Structure 1
Amino acid sequence: MPLSQRQRFPRGRASVGASRDFVRDVLSEWDLHSLIDDIALCVSELTTNALLHGVPPGREFCVDLQRNGNSVRLEVRDSGPGRPAIRHADPDACSGRGLHIVNELADSFGVDDHVVGKTVWLTFEAPPPPRTQ
């Protein structure tokens, strides 16, 4: 049976840590401990990007986790314009690596455009539970 949990966050720095805590709590509740570190890092990157580039002042963004079997989909939706793209940062650059890292950690990555805003999504596959003998 598919499971889903969603939470909205205000535009502010504290929301990055709060979204990370939300992801950790949900994945723990779903007993998907093997995915917690990767998905927590990815939600940090995606929410930071949303705050820097996608969430207009006075607006919120939304983090959604969906589970179907051993598959988890992470979505971060904002109401801002633009479409994120993976770029290759110069070696001495202080930014520009987040989506590259996210793309490497996730099993799949994409962006869905909406009339207002967009959803950046990632999927992850948890290893199957060990067989009992």
Structure 2
Amino acid sequence: MLLSRQRRFPRTRHSVPIARRFALETLTEWGYRERQDDVRLCVSELTTNALLHGVPPRREYALVVVGDGPFVRIEVRDSGAGWPQVPRMAPDSCGGRGLHLVMALADDFGVTPHDPGKTVWAVLKMDSQWKGSDGSS
């Protein structure tokens, strides 16, 4: 059974921890209890990137959490023109590692264009077979 929940957030740094909490509470409610640190980091990086590079002033971004069997998909949609770039990193760089981290943690990653904006998404496979809140798989 496909599960999906969406929430919009304002263009403010204070929204990032709220978005993390929303994602983790949603997944826990649905019975996904594995890889919470990976989910937390992916949500943090994708929402922060949207704030810094994608969300125009006075606009919002949307976080969508999808559960589909053993797969969890995290989507962050914004209406900005910026396009995610995975920069070459010097070993001593202090920033710019967000998408590198997401790509290292996620089992799949991509960007879907929209007009306006785009959705940046990451898919994480849970290690064991997901069981619904009623115990079914």
Please indicate the TM-score interval, normalised by the length of the shorter structure: over 0.9
CA separation in 1, counterparts of 2:28 and 2:50?
Answer: 25
Q: Which residue is 2:91 aligned to? A: 91
Kept in 1: contact 2:45–2:99 (CA 8 A): yes
Output the TM-score relative to the length of structure 1.
0.93
Q: Which residue is 1:68 aligned to? A: 68
SS in 2 for 1:33: coil
Query: Percent identity of the aligned residues?
Result: 52
Kept in 1: contact 2:10–2:59 (CA 8 A): yes
Q: Which residue is 2:100 aligned to? A: 100
Q: Which residue is 2:120 aligned to? A: 120
Q: Which residue is 1:80 aligned to? A: 80
CA separation in 1, counterparts of 2:96 and 2:56?
Answer: 21
Q: Which residue is 1:36 aligned to? A: 36
Question: Structure 1 residue 87: deviation in Å?
Answer: 1.7
The count of aligned residue pairs is 130
Q: Which residue is 1:46 aligned to? A: 46
- Name the aligned partner's letter for residue 35 of structure 1: R
Kept in 2: contact 1:4–1:64 (CA 8 A): yes
The correspondence of residues 7-22 of structure 1 with structure 2, limited to 5 A, is 7-22=7-22
Output the TM-score relative to the length of structure 2.
0.91
CA RMSD in angstroms comes to 1.2
SS in 1 for 2:35: helix
Q: Unpaired runs of 5+ in structure 2?
A: 131-137
Question: Structure 1 residue 92: deviation in Å?
Answer: 2.4
What's the CA shift string for 1:56-88, capped at 9, x where partnerless? Answer: 110000000111111111100001012102122
SS in 2 for 1:74: strand
